[in-house]
Amino acid sequence: MEHQVSAALGDFTQRYLALWRQQHGDWPSSHALYGIPSPCVVYSRDACVFWRPEPGSQDELAGIGRALDICLHPDLAPFFTTQYAGDMRACWQEVEMDLVQVWSADDLQRLQENQIGHLVTQRRLKLSPTLFLASTADELSLVTLCNLSGNVLLEQFGSPQRRVLAPTLAEFLAGLQPLAQEVG
């Protein structure tokens, strides 16, 4: 049976692709990902890569949990391993964000290293553990998954200041509005 997060991510991605095609008549594009190998690449032109999502690795993210001796919330792995894709711009109520996605197997490794660094910083600051899902225009705010409750949060980096955006990651993805703007 498909995980709820995988299904919700697939639905959001299809809405994102449809909006992109409606507004731009093509696949999503990225200048930032140009020249970086990925199974997502459809074609490149003018220092820009055009991409489509491809099935992910279905790898687990156990390396993160092992590195810090914690159990990861079960919603995290399907969010990052269901598909390879470029990051996708979206909006949740008033918060614009770039939903972090995995571009390739190499990118999955980098993502795990970055998540470990994020968790180490939180541990050092004695904050409850969260895992990042999206960046915002405000460099000090990020959208995260609470590793304990599964809530999706808007948090201030390095601060206990957090606001619940949605009770679950699947509900968050279902309510997220795609924006057909290049990320990068």
pLDDT tens digits for range 139-159: 889 999 999 999 999 999 888
Indicate if the pLDDT at residue 183 is higher than 90.
no
152: in domain:
yes
Q: Three-state SS string across 43-105, please?
A: EEECCEEEECCEECCCCCCHHHHHHHCCCCCCCHHHHHHCEECCCEEEEECCEEEEECCECCH
Distance CA 124, CA 61 (A): 22
Indicate if the pLDDT at residue 1 is higher than 90.
no
184: in domain:
no
State how many domains the chain has.
1
State the CATH number of the domain containing residue 40: 3.40.1580.20
Q: Return the half-sphere exposure (C-beta side, CA atoms, 13 A cut-off) of residue 83.
A: 23
Cα 82 to chain centroid, rounded: 11
What pTM, to 2 d.p., does this model score?
A: 0.94
Model confidence pLDDT, tens digit, residues 79-104: 999 999 999 999 999 999 999 999 99
Average pLDDT, the chain: 94
Indicate if the pLDDT at residue 60 is higher than 80.
no
Domain that holds residue 92: 4-178
